[in-house]
Amino acid sequence: MKKRVFIIGAGTAGLIMARELAMKGIDVEVFDQKKRPGYPSSASGIISINGLNSIKIKYEKAVTNTLYGARLHAGKEIMRIRAKKPIANVLDRERLNDILLKEARSAGVKITLGRRINGEELDHLKDGGIIVGADGAVSQVARHFEMGNVESYVLTYKAEYNKKLTDLESVDLFFDSEILKGLFGWICPNSQKILEVGIGINPGRFNSKMAFERFIMKKEISKIIENAELLSEHASIIPMKLRKNIVDEKNGVILIGDAAGQVKPSTGGGIVFGGNAAIIASEIVYKYMNGVGRLLDYQKIYRKKYVFDTRVHALLNRFYSTSSEKGLGLTIRLLNNLGMSSFLSEYGDMDSPKKIIKNIILRKSI
């Protein structure tokens, strides 16, 4: 039996899995091609509080703001969702990665930075241990072991501005299938003086930079960022569909996080799904290394636990990314008239449609 685990990629999912395995007494080594993983961060940091708590990380020192709700915009229509208690935190993703690196090292994980593992080295590593691909959407591990392609992805572009803010408690989401087909645009107060503006699109008609420039030219957006100082800009790629194969039993290889396509298709958020996948994977790998079960159990358990929520998130994405702005506006007006804004404010869950449906059923039965 293989006695070591080699994790390629020192992002959120990779470091969570490394920590979990090391705490179980497994010999773990993490490799990352960057000398300082997570820098600069190209990802946004809006993460549900329930989701953060589920992946067992000490994130408090990375929190830059707390959100109570969202405003959904389609044309002139707006749905306002406002909870009585905080529903999400905005995290400094770079600081979060530093926290996770410290946790992993404290647990006994060996971390090698500034080193890119090539195909020949991957073949050598698999002979001495289990390989975990946690190396992002364009995963070298997945490519080398021929684990299939990402069938759907979006391109994102975000910018941070220095601007004194008054409303720190809500994020604004903008739906416009003309410019933002594939995802949406957002404006988020990252802190009292930092405003994040971003977009996500399907590859094709525009590149992400072009789409971003068109987005910020919209009257309501340009007014918000008027006279603000541009601090940084980043582009990224987000997988929007789970790979068909996230386990290669023969070679002892598994994928987690963005490398596996473990994201919410409705938002592109990957920390909660990827972090929970890392915890599941660590339990399966630990059992496997002690002669119990198979690596394929990880794929089965993950799909069973998240397939329903993932499919509903995908349906939401398909609806808002293919409907016209007028159609989306009418939908928001109808939902407002039906009282859905108030319901979501009280019973909504950012990560799990399954819980929302359960709350609807319980509400009707009372």
Verify that 17 and 128 share a domain, yes or no: yes
Verify that 121 and 43 share a domain, yes or no: yes
Within a domain: 82: no
Percent of the chain whose pLDDT exceeds 90: 67
Q: 293-337: per-residue pLDDT in tens?
A: 999 999 999 999 998 888 888 898 888 888 888 888 899 888 888
Within a domain: 75: no
Verify that 163 and 251 share a domain, yes or no: no
Structure tokens at 345: 């404010």
Structure tokens at 107: 């647990």
Place of tokens 């100082």: 229
Within a domain: 84: no
Verify that 13 and 122 share a domain, yes or no: yes
Verify that 116 and 11 share a domain, yes or no: yes
pLDDT band at 18 (very low <50, low <70, confident <90, very high): very high
DSSP three-state, residue 201: strand
Verify that 233 and 355 share a domain, yes or no: yes
Q: ∠179-233-154 over CA atoms, to 5°?
A: 40
**Strand-pair category, 153-162 with 194-201:** antiparallel
CATH number, domain with residue 161: 3.30.9
Verify that 55 and 111 share a domain, yes or no: yes
Verify that 359 and 227 share a domain, yes or no: yes
Percent of the chain whose pLDDT exceeds 70: 93
Within a domain: 79: no
Verify that 215 and 328 share a domain, yes or no: yes
- Residue 353's pLDDT is 65
Number of domains in the chain: 2
**Strand-pair category, 88-91 with 63-67:** antiparallel
CATH number, domain with residue 273: 3.50.50.60
Within a domain: 71: no
Within a domain: 129: yes
Q: 211-260: per-residue pLDDT in tens?
A: 999 999 999 899 999 989 999 999 999 999 999 899 999 999 999 999 99
* CA atoms within 13 Å, Cβ hemisphere of 249: 10
Please indicate, yes or no, whether the overall pTM of this predicted structure exceeds 0.85.
Answer: yes
What residue numbers bound the domain in which 187 lies? Answer: 153-239+323-365
Structure tokens at 135: 């190396």
- Residue 215's pLDDT is 95
Q: Which of 56-60, 266-270, 283-287 has the highest mean pLDDT?
A: 283-287
**CB burial readout 216-246, b (16+ within 10 A) else e:** beeeebeebbeebeeeeebebbbbbebbebb
pLDDT band at 366 (very low <50, low <70, confident <90, very high): very low
Verify that 96 and 229 share a domain, yes or no: no
Within a domain: 85: no
Structure tokens at 204: 């094709």
Verify that 132 and 107 share a domain, yes or no: yes
Within a domain: 193: yes
- Residue 365's pLDDT is 45
Verify that 158 and 231 share a domain, yes or no: yes
